[in-house]
Amino acid sequence: MNVSTIIKELEKADAEVYERLSPRRFALQRFFSFGKKVSLAALPLSLGSIFQNTYAQTTSNAATIDSLNLVLALGYMQFQFYNNALTVTPNLIPAADKPVMTTLRDQEQAHINILIKTITDLGGTPRTALVYANFDYTKVNANVTTNYATFLRTAVVLEDLSERAYKGQLVSLMGTPVLATAARIQTIEARHSAQLRLMVNKLQIATLKNLRPWVSIRRNDADGSDVQPITGNDSMISLLNPVYDIDAGLLNRETKTTQAGIELVGIGGNVNLTAGPAAESFDEYLSTVAVKTAANLFIKTGFQLT
Confidence of residue 44 (pLDDT cuts 50, 70, 90): very low
Confidence of residue 60 (pLDDT cuts 50, 70, 90): very low
For residue 298, give the nearest of 231, 252, 237, 253 by alpha carbon.
237
Span 15-39, mean pLDDT? 45
What pLDDT is recorded for position 26? 41
Measure Cα distances from 287 to 24, 54, 147 in Å.
32, 24, 32
Task: Encode burial over 36-57: b for 16+ CB neighbours within 10 A, e otherwise.
Answer: eeebbbeeeeebbebbeebbeb
Cβ atoms of 189 and 198 closer than 8 Å: no
Span 229-247, mean pLDDT? 86
Better-scored residue on pLDDT, 80 or 15 = 80
Confidence of residue 189 (pLDDT cuts 50, 70, 90): very high
Cα separation, 90 vs 83, in Å, equals 10
Residue 208 CB neighbours (<10 A): 21
pLDDT at 248 over 80: no
Paired with 263 in beta bridges are 258
pLDDT at 53 over 60: no
Cβ atoms of 48 and 40 closer than 8 Å: yes
Cβ atoms of 197 and 156 closer than 8 Å: yes
> Residues, the chain, total?
306
Residue 303 CB neighbours (<10 A): 15
Longest dimension (CA), the chain: 56
Better-scored residue on pLDDT, 28 or 161 = 161
* pTM of this structure: 0.79
- Domains of the chain by range and CATH? 3-37 (no CATH), 62-208 (1.20.1260.10)
Residue 29 CB neighbours (<10 A): 11
